[in-house]
Amino acid sequence: MKKLIKGLREFKANYVSTHQELFEQLSQGQKPRVLFVTCSDSRVDPNLITQADLGELFVIRNAGNIIPPFGATKGGEGATIEYAVQALGIRQVIVCGHSHCGAMKGLMKLHSLRDEMPLVHDWLKYAEATRLLVKEHYTQYKGEELLEILTAENVLTQIENLRTYPVIRSKLYQGQLKIYAWIYNIEKGEVLAFDPETHAYVLPQSQLKSDDTDERRLKEEFLNGNNIKNNISEQETAVDPPQEFFYDVHQRFPITRLSKDQMDRIYRGSRRN
């Protein structure tokens, strides 16, 4: 605690004093462009890993970066999502899981938690879709590999849950919202983003090229008067890597449509590079 208080002093002395303009501006209000949903894990720091400034990320953090389906709880997740989209007009959501996630480990030994940590046990109910999906379709994996698959699939499960919120559904419907699936690898300090084209988590940078192509395609569609696309490409830079993701989200389910080989790549993705 002493260290934290020293930190408060250093922050003010070294950071605040050198960012007067920023703080002046922040006192006027916040205009974050991204809702960042991630785990409470102390090894994950959204602003640090994205090098985002104060004022850029609106953040939800809980054990397991879980988003209960609309109506399932009266907890803070739904209210904060509603506030982000409705009050702040945020149009991009990143759901970011991470390697070595304690919540995902808990999901692997759920029963043992019932008495030991009843609230955690009940909370993981909202990741049950992940547990069942992985149990039924990744029977051959164990230990570390299984944990990686759970973590990767859980981000997609939570995005499904996120899509049940009225404000999210309505904005998605008009193509005014984008949702990104990320995994943060703690030991490498590196993020992989879900790429629906390859059905794998890959380095976002690796997608930039294909996005240029994508950008061209969007431009053409625009010339062809595709207004929805038009709106999207106006709304933000057309090089958002997982651009295709959302069309893909609509097509993709059930994941079991993937070939065994494709499935493997989902988690191999997070071990490549």
267 part of the interface to its own copies, by CB under 8 A: yes
Restricted to residues 237-266, the positions that interact with its own copies (CB under 8 A) are 237, 239-241, 245, 248-249, 251-255, 258, 262, 265-266
101 phi and psi, to 5 degrees?
-75, 125
Residues 90-109: x where in contact with its own copies by CB under 8 A, - otherwise, as a string: --x-x----xx-xx--x---
- Written as six digits, the tokens of 46 are 């959204």
Q: Collapsing DSSP states into helix, strand and coil, what is residue 42?
A: coil
Toward its own copies, which CB reaches closer, 62 or 222? 62
Restricted to residues 13-32, the positions that interact with its own copies (CB under 8 A) are 15-16, 19, 23-24, 26-27, 29-30, 32
Is 212 marked as binding a ligand? no
233 part of the interface to its own copies, by CB under 8 A: no
- In this chain, which of 95, 104, 154, 157 binds its own copies, going by CB under 8 A? 157
Restricted to residues 116-135, the positions that interact with its own copies (CB under 8 A) are 116-120, 122-126, 128-129, 131-133
What does the CA dihedral 137, 143, 144, 147 come to, rounded to 10 degrees? 50
For the CB of residue 224, give the shortest distance to its own copies in the complex, in Å.
19
Restricted to residues 181-220, the positions that interact with its own copies (CB under 8 A) are 183, 185-192, 196, 198-205, 208
For the CB of residue 218, give the shortest distance to its own copies in the complex, in Å.
13
Strand partners of residue 95:
37, 181
Toward its own copies, which CB reaches closer, 122 or 220? 122
Is 53 marked as binding a ligand? no
In angstroms, the Cα distances linking 183 to 112, 189, 249 are 26, 10, 17
Restricted to residues 30-49, the positions that interact with its own copies (CB under 8 A) are 30, 32-34, 40-45, 47-49
228 part of the interface to its own copies, by CB under 8 A: no
Q: Provide CB contacts within 8 A for 92, sequence distance 6+.
A: 33, 34, 35, 177, 178, 179, 180, 236, 240
Taking phi over 0 as left and psi of -120 to 50 as alpha, with beta for the rest, 203 belongs to: beta
Local structure of residue 196 (DSSP, 8 states): T
Restricted to residues 70-89, the positions that interact with its own copies (CB under 8 A) are 70-84, 86-88
- In this chain, which of 21, 139, 143, 173 binds its own copies, going by CB under 8 A? 173
For the CB of residue 220, give the shortest distance to its own copies in the complex, in Å.
19
Helices (H), 125-223: 128-137, 143-162, 166-173, 208-223
Is 101 marked as binding a ligand? yes
Is residue 184 within 8 A of residue 44, CB to CB? The reply is yes
Is 41 marked as binding a ligand? yes
CA–CA gap between residue 96 and residue 137 (Å, rounded): 23
- In this chain, which of 104, 107, 152, 177 binds its own copies, going by CB under 8 A? 152
Is residue 68 within 8 A of residue 126, CB to CB? The reply is yes
The binding site consists of 39, 41, 98, 101
